[in-house]
A and B are shown apart, each in its own frame.
Chain A
C-alpha cells in the first residue's frame, strides 16, 4: 500500500523515551502514521498521552532528557532520525515547521516581530536582507495582519494573542514548508479568535498546499479540520480513521468514553458520563491495554495483552479487544 501513495511523511513504529531520575518514561510507544501532501492529520488525546511528544519527535526538538529510542521517521523516503544536526537544521523551518500553543512564550520578547520573521527567513533561504524584509511583510499580509509595515517594528507584547499567533503562523510558513505541525494552536485563544485562526489555516493550506499535523485535545477543532484522526492514549494510538469513523463509528472504549463525556447539543439535559479514574501515569504502565484500568468493559485479556491495531474498515483501525470482538462476531470484520 505504501508504494502506491506518495507520502510526504511516514512515521514507523516510533518510540520516544524521557530518561528521568524516576526512571525511563516511555512517552511514545510505537506510533505509526503517514501523511499525504495537502492533507490534515489530527492527533487528539489528553495531557500525557504523548501527542505533543510525537510531534516534537518528528522535529527532533525534544527536551534534553528525551530521546527517540526506536522506529523511523521518513521524510520523502529518507529516515531523518539518522540525520546529523546540520541536516536537521535544514529540515526544521524550511521543510517542516511548528506552531506552538502559547504565542506569548514562543516569541522572543526582546526582538521586534519583524526581526524575528526576518531571522527565520535569512536562516533558511538564500534571500538577502531587503528581500527578507519584503518576504516578511508579504507573509504578514498573507496571514491577515493589518498594517504589516508598522507591525514589523512592534514587539510581541504590543500585539494581542490572536495577532501573535498570526505572527507565529507567518513565521512558520515563511519558508514554504511541506509540513506544518500545529501543537494546540488555538488552545490559548478565545473562541472568536480561534475561529479566525482555524479558517486562516484552512485557507493557507488550500493556497500553499502544505500538509498539517494538528495536535489538540479539543474534539471540536478536530471534527472540523482533519482528514484523518489519531486518538492517542498512554503513548499509543488507540484508534485511527476519518472524522466520521471516529465520531460516528468509534470502535475503542476510550474514544467512546471521550465522546460521551463532552457536552454536546443533544445531551444538554442529561448528566455527562465521565470516564472514571485519572489519566495514566507513564511510569507505571499496565501490562495489558493502557486504558484497561479506567475501562468499564475491560475483559480478562485486556489485563495481560496489549491489543493490536485491527482494521475495522478501509479507513478505520482500532486497537480494542472488546470492540473488535463485537465487530468480528457480527461479521463486519474478518480477522
Chain B
C-alpha cells in the first residue's frame, strides 16, 4: 500500500439499520459511503447535527456495530472489508444485473485490536457501572486483555493511570456516583487509556460538562496526545471546541461527509454551503463579533433519514440547489491543500 503513514483508513463505510415500516423493513442509512483517514497522533474532529450519523461512524469503526459495507484498515491491517469494489471515480463496480461485484470478504475478530482502539463516551453518568469501584472500572480492560501478572502489578497500573488523568489514589475505592461530572469523565478516560491504545474515539466527551470543567478535560486530551501520541476521532457538536482540539475537521450531514479539511482552513475558507451556515450559526462569545456577524439561518429541518432526498442530502435546505443536485450525489473533490468538499455548485 502506498499510504503507509495512515493509522486508520476508512473507505466507503456504510452502516444501515433495518427499520420496520408496516410489513416491510427499510434501511435507515445512518452512515452512507463515508471515507477518511487518520494519521498517528492526529485529531480528526467530526461535526454535524444530531442524527447525522457521527456517533454511528465512531461506533462502527470500533465494530460496536457490524458494518453494512466498506473497508476499515487499522495500522496496515484490514479489519473489515465487505468485498465491494470501486473504480477510480469512487463508483461501485456492478455486474450486468446491477449487483455489486464482490471480492474477498474480511471480518476479523476484534478482541486483539480493542487493545489499540478505545472509546470515551458522551455521558459520564451512564457510561460507568454504578456497582463497580473506580479501581475495578479502570482495571476491567486490564482484566479482559490480561495485562498484568499479579494483583500488585494491576493495582500499580491502575494508580498510575489515575495519576495520569489527575485523580487521587484515595479515589480508587470509591464508586462513580461519588464523583462530579468532570471527574467521572476522567475515570472514563483512564479506562480508555488502560490498554495503552493508539486510537481513541471520543464521542462528545465534553458536552455534558460545565463550561469551566470543559476546559480542564479538553486540556487533558491535548496533554495526553502530546505525551502518549494517541490519535483521536473527536466527535462533538460544539464547533469551537472541535476547532480548538482538532488538526483536521470532517463535516457530516445526513450520513455523508460533505467537507473535510484542515481545522484552520475549514474555519477560514468553508466551501460547502452547509459548513458555511453551520459556522455562521455558532454563537460567538464576543459581543463585538456577535453584533457584526451575519447569520445564515437555514430554513427548515433536517429531513428524516428514512426519507432521504435523492442526490445531495442537503439540497432541500440549500440556496444553491440545482437539478444536478437532485440527480446525483456530488463526490468529495480535492480543492487543494487537502481540502475536500462534496458540492456541485461551489
A residues in contact (CB < 8 Å) with B: 46-47, 146, 160-163, 190-196, 198-199, 217-224, 243-244, 247-248, 257-265, 267-268, 271-276, 278-279
Contacts and interface: CB of A to CB of B under 8 A. Distances in A.
Interface string B202-238: 0000000011111110110010000000000000010
A276 B284 CA distance: 24
Interface string B273-293: 000011011111111111100
A219 B285 contact: yes
Given A220-B284, A221-B283, A199 B297 contact: yes
B283 A194 contact: yes
A221 B215 CA distance: 18
Contact of B215 (A162, A196, A220, A275): A275
Given A191-B49, A218-B283, 10 more contacts: A47-B210, A192-B281, A220-B240, A223-B290, A224-B284, A224-B287, A247-B286, A258-B212, A262-B214, A278-B182
B285 A223 contact: yes
Contact of B240 (A190, A193, A222, A262): A262
Nearest to B50: A190
Interface in B256-300: 263-264, 267, 277-278, 280-291, 295, 297-298, 300
Given A46-B210, A217-B211, A279-B210, A259 B285 contact: yes
Given A46-B212, A162-B301, A196-B298, A224 B290 contact: yes
Contacts of A198: 283
A195 B180 contact: no
Nearest to B296: A195
A195 B214 CA distance: 23
Contacts of B222: 271
Contacts of B180: 278-279
5 contacts: A224-B287, A258-B211, A260-B215, A262-B215, A263-B218
Interface of B is mostly: helix
B241 interface: yes
Nearest to A221: B283
A178 B182 CA distance: 39
B216 A223 contact: no
A224 B301 CA distance: 23
B16 to A, nearest CB: 22
A217 B210 contact: yes
* Candidate in B49, B264, B281 with the most chain A CB atoms within 10 angstroms: B281
Interface in B166-218: 180, 182-183, 210-216, 218
Interface in B283-324: 283-291, 295, 297-298, 300-302
* Candidate in A160, A192, A260, A262 with the most chain B CB atoms within 10 angstroms: A192
B244 interface: yes
B255 to A, nearest CB: 15
Interface in B316-335: none
B210 A195 contact: no
